[in-house]
Chain A
Amino acid sequence: MRILLVEDDKDVAGFVVKGLRESGHVVEHADNGRDGLFLAVSESFDAIVLDRMLPGGIDGLRILETLRSQHNTVPVLFLSALGQVDDRVVGLKAGGDDYLTKPFAFAELLARVEALTRRGKGEGPATKLVVGDLEMDLLSRSVRRAGQKIDLQPREFLLLEYLMRHAGQVVTRTMLLEGVWDYHFDPQTNVIDVHVSRLRQKVDKPFAGPLIHTVRNAGYMLRADAA
């Protein structure tokens, strides 16, 4: 994927660029708003990671507003030290697709950027999700693995649906909390881990080969291992 990073802090930018490249992405970097805007409008990217506060007279919001006014729908993730609830709302209202507050864990950033680009492709209203031998019918709300029906609670169904929609990608606990429960705060206890482990009991345990994998220091990934 081609990713544009607009970030003025050298250390943070260097770290993010290195990390994204190691994960197999092509990264362009601009360290001020003017260059960032120029790159964003003149070249084509799969995703843009945008700092809110930038030197050069043009801040992240301006860049995003300019892009959106030109009907450019490239997915944009804000990476900002402005972490108040209202800042987040402003960023998302301006057309941002996701908002990550500094300081951040790289795994979280990577997971969110990859989730964004998936969203950006626009799958259309699928009625069936398939990962390996796991099948989810979104119309009848039923789940089968290896032809065997699995009974899930409504919330477990939503959790599995989210994991399946992001199959092959890392999904962090915060992403699950936001995407499945629509909660925008961190509970102190490990609630998400408990929910995922219960889901595993139903989806993985009775079958051969796990589908839900724990990614250390990051979160979870649903993937059919190439057997």
Chain B
Amino acid sequence: MDLASPSLPTETAPGRTIDGPATGAKLPAHPRFLRSAALRFAAVYALLFGLSALALAFFLWWETVGLLDRETDTAIAADVQGLAQRWQEGGLPALVITIENRLAENVADNAIYLLVDPGMRRIVGNLASWPTGLPAHRAWAELPIERAGIRSLARVRTFTLPGSFHLLVGRDVQVRAELRDLLTGALLWALLVVLVLGLAGAIVIRSLFRRALANVSTTAAAISAGDLSQRVRITGRGDEFDRLSETINEMLERISRLMDGVRQVSNAIAHDLRTPITRARARLEDAALHANTEADLRAAIERATADLDGIVAVFQALLRIAEIEAGARRSAFAAFDATPMLAGLVDLYSAPAEESGLSLVLACPERLPLFGDRELIQQAIANLLDNALKFSPAGGLVRLSAASGLGTVTITVADHGPGIPVADRARATERFFRGEAARNTPGAGLGLALVQAVGQLHGGTLTLADNAPGLAAMLHLPGAVESAHHAAAADA
């Protein structure tokens, strides 16, 4: 398709970017505006606020209007019970007298009684007639009544007495109804206020949320645009957002350190590997052009092969340093005793030391518990020993010693060679750095860089000191217990 119409892709490309980030396709269930976390938080806030307000209103209603309702019902029930007792004691005449007495005693003028005969004619009571449509037996009702020309509202209960007499007991609840209307109105208004307040609060929360995130997201945007020097601003409040910012900044620091490493390696490849490659190439070309005999040719090819092997060795050392600096090897960390390892190294190196007229001595405690990558520490110390043997004058002494104290283990390789001038010490661990004294010795200047990388991987350091005369290279590593914590913290 692309081949048939080469112009098509460029035309369709903008369309694709407009209608669809791939994430949009993944989340079809949510409309776009709900994808804002700020909005979601605001909505949750408004919802919670509204629900609390509703709960409060309901409680208020229950405690006021509800209470009055319940009191009325209790009063009616008590009245009914009293009247029923009178009926049982004295029959109809006693009931009539009681009702009349009660009406007379009714100072608040809110009690309602009505007793009718089987023909629904009034016998006694303050209602003119039996309300129409009201069931005659055991019914609760709330109904409008008219009493002495005034319309009102009443809550009533009806009974059928033996002999088909009907009794109605009630209370005038007009005042209470007015109170209820008042309260309902007030609560409705309050709900409106709640709605407004909820929305306003939601907007405030949303903007707070956005402001807290804006800091992080502008930094992230600047970094993805290529400005790696940007850092998230710390407000200094020490809150969760500050902690998040700190974590992000630490991550950025680490990324830029790694980027620097990559840049250094590429620079090194560009500059420092060019020389041996040039040499190998020149040898081969020279042989191709000038070799007269097959033996000459073979010799030139062999030397070029050796050059290439040297380049490969440098390459492998560079890659190994990069691998260690990336921290990928922490998986091989374990607790081990360093003493046998140091003894093994001395065993390996004492033969070449003696060959060069040097003595190599080991001074180390019975047990030296370490936590780390055994193979890497071994290689680091082998590098230090390599250097010490290489730079020591004949008859010299190379001392490998180890001591543990205050949570750190220090492994020292000390020689009586030329040492490293103070001015060069800081740079001595850089890749491809070669001191003045090292000009005429073989090597690529990567040994100490690897030792330093191994030290850093273990949370330790490499320090170079004067051995007066000579160099004392000290690898400080955290002791076994602390390192375990360190690694656990790094993994977490």
Contacts and interface: CB of A to CB of B under 8 A. Distances in A.
B85 interface: no
A217 B351 contact: no
B344 interface: yes
A205 interface: no
B10 to A, nearest CB: 33
Interface stretch (B33-41, B58-66, B96-104, B311-319): B311-319
Interface in B310-349: 312-313, 316, 319-320, 323, 328-329, 331-332, 344, 347-349
B351 A189 contact: no
A181 to B, nearest CB: 6
A188 B319 contact: no
A105 B312 CA distance: 11
A188 B328 CA distance: 25
B359 to A, nearest CB: 15
Nearest to B373: A85
Interface string B402-446: 000000000000000000000000000000000000000011000
Nearest to A101: B316
Contact of B386 (A188, A194, A198): A188
B348 A181 contact: yes
Interface in B268-327: 302, 308-309, 312-313, 316, 319-320, 323
| Count class of interface residues, chain B | 20 to 34
A191 B355 CA distance: 10
A174 to B, nearest CB: 12
A194 B355 contact: yes
Nearest to A103: B312
B168 to A, nearest CB: 95
Given A155-B347, A189-B386, A86 B355 contact: no
A189 B353 CA distance: 10
B461 interface: no
Contact of A198 (B308, B319, B351, B443): B351
A103 B386 contact: no
A84 B351 contact: no
B114 interface: no
A84 B328 CA distance: 10
Given A184-B375, A188-B443, A188-B447, A85 B329 contact: yes
Contacts of B389: 189
B319 A181 contact: no
A188 B382 CA distance: 9
A187 B313 CA distance: 11
Interface string A169-196: 0000000000001011111111100110
Contacts of B331: 86
B447 A191 contact: no
Given A83-B319, A84-B319, A103-B312, A183 B348 contact: yes
B345 to A, nearest CB: 9
B18 to A, nearest CB: 38
B378 interface: yes
A184 B316 CA distance: 13
A181 B344 contact: yes
A129 B352 CA distance: 28
B126 interface: no
Contact of B352 (A84, A185, A191, A217): A191
A160 B323 CA distance: 35
A185 B382 contact: yes
Contacts of A83: 316, 319
B176 interface: no
A186 B349 contact: no
Contacts of A217: 302
B341 to A, nearest CB: 10
A190 B390 CA distance: 11
B379 interface: yes
B323 A189 contact: no
A189 B350 CA distance: 12
Closest 6 CB pairs between A and B? Answer: A194-B352, A194-B351, A185-B379, A188-B386, A194-B355, A195-B351
Given A185-B375, A188-B442, A189-B349, 19 more contacts: A83-B319, A84-B319, A85-B320, A85-B332, A103-B308, A103-B312, A105-B309, A181-B344, A185-B379, A185-B382, A187-B348, A188-B443, A188-B447, A189-B352, A189-B386, A189-B390, A190-B352, A198-B351, A217-B302
20 contacts: A83-B316, A84-B319, A84-B323, A85-B332, A85-B375, A86-B328, A101-B316, A183-B379, A185-B379, A185-B382, A188-B386, A188-B447, A189-B352, A189-B390, A191-B348, A191-B349, A191-B351, A191-B352, A194-B355, A195-B351
